[in-house]
Amino acid sequence: MVAKSLHLAGVPMNATTVTYEDILLGEAIEAQNTPLVEQLISERNRAHSVWGLKRPNMLDTLPQYLHLFRNPICVTVFRDILSTAKRNEISLNWSIVEGLELAIHSNLQLVQFIQAHSIPNLLVSYEKAVQHPRTFVNALVEHCGISCDIEPIVNSIEADNPEYLGLV
């Protein structure tokens, strides 16, 4: 939802998939391939005054590269832990308790990242953003310093987008 909103606002996300993940840079960061990470970030910094990176699950390796980003800011999305656990129960055949434990652990990792790094960070409740898309989009574009027509972005927000979930 956030990455798609940024894309619609005109922020290059360096992605071609429906998830808007930057696979190349994300994998380089996760693999700690420093020369490639430095090259990709430098290229993106030169090509764009503002650009985005979405790649879940890189909180452990991202911090060592934060100094390479020009004026980094974060948008951190929190989902209801029961909703997350229920989705993992359905899609991964986990028990609900396993899903709850993972969701709590993931949220704790996000909080620890926020505490450890003094980067401007917009904290977003996924459920509230879906309920109040205009409020969410206004906060997002303000946080990112973007000037754009927000209506197409507001109209694009939907809970559990079927295309994103691979259902269409």
What is the Cα–Cα distance from 22 to 14, expressed in whole angstroms? 6
For all residues of the chain together, what is the average pLDDT? 91
Q: What is the pTM for the complete model shown?
A: 0.86
**CA–CA distances in Å: residue 57 to residues 29, 43, 110:** 10, 23, 10
Running DSSP on this structure, what letter comes out for residue 164? Answer: T
Q: How many Cβ atoms are within 10 Å of 42's Cβ, its own excluded?
A: 12
**48-86: per-residue pLDDT in tens?**
999 999 988 888 999 999 999 999 999 999 999 999 899
Domain chopping of the chain, boundaries: 2-156
Provide CATH code, domain 2-156. 3.40.50.300
**109-124: per-residue pLDDT in tens?**
999 999 999 999 999 9
